[in-house]
C-alpha cells in the first residue's frame, strides 16, 4: 500500500471524525499501527494534525453561528468554556461534547491561537494513548 494512501486515509479519517460528522479515527490508527509499527511517530503526527484541523473547522462553524442560541448542549459547553477558557479544549477529543466545545469556542470568539494549542495538545495526548495501548497490546500478545 502506498504511503500516500496510508497517511492520506488516516488524515482524512482524523479530520472528518473531529468535525460534526461521525467517525472513529482511533480504529484506523490502531490498524495502521499494527501493520506499520516502524511509522508510529508519523502516524500519530498525521492523525493529530488532521484531527486538530477538524476541530478548528468546528471552531470556524461556531464563529458563523448567530450570537443567540438556546439549547441545553450549547449552554453546557458555554458554561465550561467560560469557567475554564480555551483549556477546556483539552477535552475536545471526547465524543459529542468535544465537538460542541469547539463550536462553542468559536461562538464565544476565543483566541484562535490559544484554541489551536489546547486543541492540538488534547488531540495529541489522545492519539499517543491509543498508540501506546495498541503497541503494548502487541507486546503483551507476543
Overall number of domains in the chain: 1
pLDDT tens readout for residues 127-136? 999 999 999 8
How far is the CA of 84 from the CAs of 24, 88, 104, in angstroms? 27, 5, 13
- The reported pLDDT for the residue numbered 100 is 87
The 10s digit of each residue's pLDDT in 72-98 is 666 776 777 788 899 999 999 888 788
Band of residue 59 on the pLDDT scale cut at 50, 70, 90: very high
For 64, the domain range is 3-141
Over the chain, what is the mean pLDDT?
Answer: 88
Contact (CB, 8 A) for 39 and 126? no
Amino acid at each position: 500500500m502506498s504511503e500516500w494512501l496510508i497517511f492520506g486515509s488516516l488524515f482524512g479519517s482524523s479530520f472528518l471524525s473531529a468535525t460534526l460528522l461521525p467517525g472513529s479515527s482511533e480504529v484506523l490508527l490502531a490498524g495502521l499501527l499494527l501493520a506499520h509499527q516502524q511509522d508510529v511517530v508519523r502516524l500519530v503526527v498525521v492523525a493529530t494534525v488532521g484531527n486538530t484541523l477538524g476541530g478548528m473547522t468546528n471552531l470556524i462553524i461556531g464563529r458563523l453561528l448567530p450570537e443567540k442560541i438556546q439549547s441545553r448542549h450549547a449552554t453546557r459547553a458555554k458554561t465550561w468554556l467560560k469557567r475554564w477558557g480555551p483549556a477546556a479544549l483539552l477535552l475536545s477529543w471526547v465524543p459529542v461534547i468535544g465537538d460542541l466545545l469547539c463550536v462553542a469556542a468559536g461562538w464565544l470568539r476565543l483566541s484562535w491561537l490559544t484554541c489551536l494549542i489546547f486543541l492540538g495538545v488534547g488531540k495529541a495526548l489522545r492519539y499517543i494513548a491509543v498508540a501506546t495501548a495498541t503497541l503494548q497490546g502487541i507486546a503483551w500478545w507476543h
